Amino acid sequence: MTGRDRPAAALALLLLAALVVLGAGLGLRDPWPSDEPRFALVARQMVASGDWWFPRRGSELYSDKPPMLMWLQALSYQLTGHWRVAFLLPSLLAGLATLALTWDLGRRLWSPRVGLLAAVAVLGAVMFSFQFKRAQIDPLITALITLANWGLVVHLLRGPNWPAFWLGCFAAGLGVITKGVGVIALLMLVPYVLLRRAGWPEVTRTAASGWRWAGGALAVFGAIGLWLVPMAAQALARGTPEYLGYLHDILFNQTARRYAGQVGGHESKPLWYFVPVLLLHFFPLSLAYGAAWHDARAAWRGRDARVALLLGWCALVFVFFTLAGGKREVYVLPMLPMLALALGPTLQRIADAPWLHRTALAAAAAIAVALLAAGLWALSGRWTRMDTVMTERGMAEAWPAMARWMLAAGGLCVVLVAALRVQRGVQVLLACLAVVWIAWGVGLAPLGNGAASAADVMRRADALAGADGEIALVAWKEQNLLMAPRPVQDFGFKVPPAQQFERAVSWLQAAPQRRWVFALSSAVAPCVDESRVTTVGSSNRRAWWMFQADAVRPGCRLPQPAGRAAEDEDEGG
């Protein structure tokens, strides 16, 4: 009996493969910018302070995002006791949940085979593995939106199933308190209403059950209220400008204005911005787009509500983010599971098509050649541009070993291409993609971790300060505070560097013999005597200095910029 004849066994194998691909490297690296150190730092401070309602980034309240991901990271730490595992564990579990939900919904709508193919397409997509191996909010919000879609679709197409509907609405509410756009799951109701009014078959029709539909709204707001009501009550009770400002910012600035592109310094993007994302970032699922177009037209003519509902929701999500002022590739990640499901029957139809396997094999061969070429070029010493980049990032010493990992991955892909060839081109491509992600997780990322995470720079700063020294941060990044081996002083994060510097100078003068300032060199250079500073290294293309009171130019004041908010706002969450 084959895996396709045993749905549970096939799902287990899929999840095992996902665990290997997504979990490779778990515990081998620290959080990397731009977002990972921010969330891990907030989670660590939650655990340390015991205040889980009001996240902090250093000495400041952190209001850019609701605390759902940080809660899960903090809980993961309490379960595992290791931050290197805890900060990535929510993303790993979210990935496994997303795949299981995709499989189950495909099984319910079509067959276990369709569900399996859709889930494999999700796991194989470049964006999926790239994002779910990182500790950002997007993997979690994708899992919650997929759970919401699962509950809604089960009710709307295989119902009535009110518990599933309420669960879906509750998951949408959890999505809102994870990242405001979690509400997009409820857009599934729009094509449902249109299909129902048009009299399409397979659409669930219920008797007058207004109170049950209203229960969905209660589930959404109930989930939101789990966080919002206690948080708002405590903020109002404390009544200080700090907590009232937090309440106002997280409720108004970080949702509506972010969608409009007024927060975060997003550049204006064209209306077609997400088109190449669907082609390149959803690859290799995008190989099926041409064949799926034919099937989608046939499904429309046949009034297949399953395909219409899923593609209708995907289209609405696409339009929603296209019209947004701020655009990033990852915003459309929640579309991937439903798009793969809508294309599931197509995937089943073309699974053995020679053209698909030839195309996939060519793509696998291209990946192999690119890895080999990159590794050889790096080891030859003639890739001067990349050598410069790696030096700027503090990874120059690790670069040759990283090149050897690329060679090894490329060589393994060559073996796969030669051994399996055209008849199993799709399997070869998926295996090569898995090789890339595993090599990154267990080889490349650990080699670059010390520089990318700022751990090396902070260890050198700690050694320079000595056992009795004290360190303060100026113009710092979250990774600097997170990776500091000892407690350090900060003077705010969003506070302009000039004001941070003024406070740091007063702090230095109170104990000039044992106090040091760790600062971004470009931010403090006008007021610091470079001959009296120690360069502790470069990290993330920034040079960092350490100095004491005698390096400060008397009476010097840094220029007052408009602020750092645009530079430091959340780039990926």
Q: What does each of the 573 residues of the chain score in pLDDT, given as a tens digit?
A: 344 558 889 999 999 999 999 999 999 999 999 899 999 999 999 999 999 999 999 999 999 889 999 999 999 999 999 999 999 999 999 999 999 999 999 999 999 999 999 999 999 999 999 999 999 999 999 999 999 999 999 999 998 999 999 999 999 999 999 998 889 999 999 999 999 999 898 888 776 678 899 999 999 999 999 999 999 999 999 989 999 999 999 888 765 555 555 444 445 788 899 999 999 999 999 999 999 999 999 999 999 999 999 999 999 999 999 988 778 999 999 999 999 999 999 999 999 999 999 999 999 999 999 999 999 999 998 888 998 888 888 888 999 999 999 999 999 999 999 988 777 999 999 999 999 999 999 999 999 999 999 999 999 999 999 999 999 999 999 999 999 999 999 999 999 999 999 999 999 999 999 999 999 999 999 999 999 999 998 887 889 999 999 999 998 898 876 544 434 443 444
> Are residue 375 and residue 279 in the same domain, yes or no?
no
Last-in-domain residue among 310, 329, 348: 348
The terminus-to-terminus CA distance of the chain in angstroms comes to 44
Residues with Cβ within 8 Å of 157's Cβ and at least 6 positions away in sequence, in order, are: 109, 202, 203, 204, 305, 306, 309
Q: How far is CA 38 from the centre of its chain?
A: 12
Statement to judge: residues 52 and 147 lie in one domain:
yes
In a domain, 1, yes or no: no
Domain closes at, from 396, 424, 449: 449
Is residue 204 domain-shared with residue 242, that is, in the same domain?
Answer: yes
> Residue 3 falls within a domain, yes or no?
no
Tokens of 511: 């104990």
Per DSSP bridges, beta strands 534-539 and 542-547 are antiparallel
Closest among 487, 474, 499 to 561, alpha carbons compared: 499
pLDDT at 565: 42
If asked whether residues 135 and 185 sit together in one domain, one would say yes
pLDDT for the residue 382: 87
Can you give the pLDDT at residue 393?
A: 85
* Dist CA 527 CA 523 (whole Å): 9
Say what the pLDDT of residue 313 is: 98
Q: Of 348, 372, 394, which marks where a domain is finished?
A: 348
Does 162 map to a domain?
yes
* Burial of residue 129, with CB atoms counted within 10 A of its CB: 0-12 exposed, 13-18 middle, 19 or more buried: buried
- The answer on 518 and 556 residing in a single domain is yes
The confidence score (pLDDT) of residue 333 equals: 97
Residue 445 is assigned to a structural domain of this protein: yes
Domain annotation covers residue 7: no
From CA 517, how far away is CA 471, in angstroms rounded?
6
Which residues form the domain of 439? 354-449
Q: Please indicate, yes or no, whether residues 441 and 468 belong to a single structural domain of this protein.
A: no
Same domain for 521 and 492: yes
Q: What is the DSSP string of 206-242?
A: -SS-HHHHHHHHHHHHHHHHHHHHHHHHHHHHH--HH
Average pLDDT in the chain: 91
User: How far is 295 from 300, CA to CA, in rounded Å?
Assistant: 9
- Examine the domain organization and report whether 196 and 114 are in the same domain: yes
Q: How many domains would you assign to the chain?
A: 3
Residues 389 and 337 in one domain: no
Q: Residue 259: its pLDDT value, please?
A: 52
Res 327: pLDDT: 85
Phi, psi angles (nearest 5°) of residue 498: -60, -40
Confirm whether 174 is domain-assigned.
yes
Token pair, residue 283, equals 């690859």
Residues 196, 292, single domain; the answer is yes
- Give a yes or no: residue 14 inside a domain: no
Distant-in-sequence, close-in-space partners of 523: CB < 8 Å, separation ≥ 6: 474, 475, 497, 501, 558
In terms of domains, do 292 and 330 share one?
yes
Predicted local distance difference test score (pLDDT) of residue 562: 53
Q: State how far the Cα of 474 lies from the Cα of 467, in Å rounded to an integer.
A: 21
Over its C-alpha atoms, the chain yields an Rg (Å, rounded) of 26
48 lies in some domain: yes
Domain check: are 343 and 358 in the same one? Answer: no
